[in-house]
């Protein structure tokens, strides 16, 4: 399933709703972001699936009309996707009615589009492509590749030198390397270490391989997670690793 990126709530008074969220859910106050073309101001709370507060900043905006017609409350839910264009085409071909011809700019530099609620059980559904995506090549890590691509944050590194996730060979020409569940054969090879950030990721019951590698490559980061946490925690670890490299 596509990840649920955020849930939007429309309100007349963003600060009053923020105050309520702080009391209810122990949120930390957030700075507002204006999206002028849509006449709306938003604030986001939390991590993972976030809450978004929407306020109108223009009396003729869609949110102002929505509030007039329906009052405050749940406004939309948003799924995160890797490519707005390809999902828009897929959904249009499947018979849904996008509310814009092309994706438009959302908060945080995202590219977003909405579907007409008459096709979606009366609920306004947004699809959003994050601005910060990572070009990644996966080699012999099919399961992790599927998991990472489904986050919406990874795109193929075909046109560009990107990050590499591998359990086998190590390319010399890349931005970073994640060695994921390396085999014993791989650990015995004396591979030339590329001069880029390296992360060694292992499942705990095979961690002796990881420690072997880590002894050879002392500058690498080491992450050992039990199998049960590979799906839940490893994606965030990898996204943080790539973000730290690209934000340097």
Applying CB under 6 A, the residues found at the interface with ligand CMX are 8, 35, 38, 40, 42, 52, 54, 62-63, 66, 75-76, 78, 99, 106-107, 110, 112, 114, 116-118, 122, 124, 126, 128
Instruction: Single out the residue of 45, 41, 79, 43 nearest to residue 63, CA to CA.
Output: 41
Distance of alpha carbon 107 from alpha carbon 41, whole angstroms: 9
Looking at the Cβ atoms of 128 and 141, the one nearer to ligand CMX is: 128
Nearest distance from residue 66's CB to ligand CMX, in Å? 5
Instruction: Rank residues 131 and 161 by Cβ distance to ligand CMX and give the closer one.
Output: 131
Q: How far apart are CA 139 and CA 194, in angstroms?
A: 16
Half-sphere exposure of 25 (CA within 13 A, CB side): 12
User: Least Å distance between CB 70 and ligand CMX?
Assistant: 7
The closest residue (CB) to ligand CMX is 106
Token output for 136: 């990644």
Query: Least distance in Å: CB of 1 to ligand CMX?
Result: 19
In the complex with ligand CMX, which residue's Cβ is closer, 47 or 159? 47
CA 128 to chain CA mean position, Å: 10
Of residues 64 and 174, the one with the C-beta less far from ligand CMX:
64
By DSSP bridging, strand 176-180 and strand 198-203 are: parallel
Residue 35 or 198: the one with the smaller Cβ distance to ligand CMX is 35
Q: How many CB atoms lie within 10 A of CB 45?
A: 18
Distance of closest approach, residue 73 Cβ to ligand CMX, in angstroms: 9
Minimum CB–partner distance for residue 84 and ligand CMX (Å): 11
Complete edge-to-edge strand list for the sheet that includes strand 125-129: 33-35, 40-45, 50-56, 4-10, 73-80, 125-129, 111-115, 104-105
Burial of 207 (0-12, 13-18, 19+ CB in 10 A): middle
Cα distance between residue 44 and residue 174, in whole Å: 34
72 or 168: whose CB is closer to ligand CMX?
A: 72
Cite the beta strand spans of 11-160 per DSSP E.
Answer: 33-35, 40-45, 50-56, 73-80, 104-105, 111-115, 125-129, 134-139, 154-156
Give least dist CB 208 to ligand CMX, A.
46
d(CA 187, CA 211): 10
Cβ nearer to ligand CMX, comparing 51 with 164 = 51
Output the smallest distance, CB 90 to ligand CMX, in A: 19
């Amino acid at each position: 399933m596509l990840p649920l990126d955020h849930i939007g709530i429309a309100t007349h008074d963003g600060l009053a709703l923020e105050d309520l969220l702080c009391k209810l859910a122990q949120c930390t106050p957030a700075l507002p972001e204006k999206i002028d073309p849509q006449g709306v101001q938003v604030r986001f709370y939390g991590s993972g699936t976030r809450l978004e507060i929407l306020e109108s900043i223009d009396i003729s905006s869609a949110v102002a009309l929505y509030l007039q017609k329906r009052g405050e409350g749940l406004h939309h839910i948003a799924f995160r996707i890797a490519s707005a264009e390809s999902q828009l085409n897929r959904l249009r071909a499947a018979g849904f009615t996008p509310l814009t011809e092309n994706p438009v700019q959302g908060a945080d530099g995202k590219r977003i589009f909405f579907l007409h609620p008459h096709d979606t059980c009366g609920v306004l559904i947004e699809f959003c492509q994050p601005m910060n995506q990572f070009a990644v090549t996966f080699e012999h890590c099919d399961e992790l590749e599927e998991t990472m691509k489904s986050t919406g944050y990874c795109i193929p590194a075909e046109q560009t030198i990107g990050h590499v996730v591998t359990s086998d060979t190590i390319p010399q020409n890349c931005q970073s390397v994640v060695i994921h569940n390396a085999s014993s054969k791989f650990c015995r090879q004396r591979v030339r270490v590329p001069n880029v950030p390296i992360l060694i990721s292992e499942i705990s019951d095979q961690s002796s391989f990881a420690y072997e590698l880590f002894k050879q490559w002392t500058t690498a980061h080491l992450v050992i997670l039990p199998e049960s946490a590979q799906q839940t925690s490893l994606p965030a670890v990898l996204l943080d690793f790539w973000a730290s490299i690209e934000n340097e």
